[in-house]
Amino acid sequence: MASRLLKASDIMSKEVVIAHPDMSLVEVARLMNQFRIGGVPVMAEGELVGAVTERTIMQKVVEADIQPSKVFIKDIMVPPKITVGLDEDVNAIARRMAKEDVTRVFVCDDGKLAGIITNKDVLKHSHEQLNILIEQAKIKGPQLHQQYTAYGKCERCGTNTHLLLKEEMFICKDCFGQL
């Protein structure tokens, strides 16, 4: 019996925390901290107009040494790198995420934001995606030796936490230190 391919609509989160262009960075940072998320879509008049991520904040605010309370989202948001449709295959989404080096994609239906898929969603729902992330980590090379590359269940002890790649396994910091 052939298994049904997972689609974006099968794994996306439908409840999405959003930002508006006129919000301050401080307001958005509070939301990101409150909901423990690394990025938000930016919506204006019901349309997806951009995204703000931890990386965006680091590059456009921290690195530029700008005071966060003086920054508005419209000034730092970036275009969303990837949007997908409800019926797009999860394997294809994972490959695009790896190729574009992103940790979230926005799911749109008829031009409207319908949900979000993060790398954690992909990992939760498909073992095949783990191989793609391993390949991505190998391509990035040895600089990832001490950097977190994923979030999920440690393949050695089973703890849910940030994970490091070592010897083709995603493991937690404690297990990493024991190897």
> Side chain identity at 18, as an amino acid letter?
I
Of 129, 106, 140, which Cα lies nearest the Cα of 8? 106
CA distance 152 to 177: 18
pLDDT at position 25: 97
pLDDT at position 2: 37
Q: What are phi and psi of 90, to 5 degrees?
A: -60, -35
Q: Which residue has the tokens 């994609």?
A: 105
| pTM for the whole structure | 0.67
pLDDT at position 146: 53
pLDDT at position 179: 78
pLDDT at position 132: 59
Low-confidence residues in the chain, pLDDT < 50: 1-3, 143-145
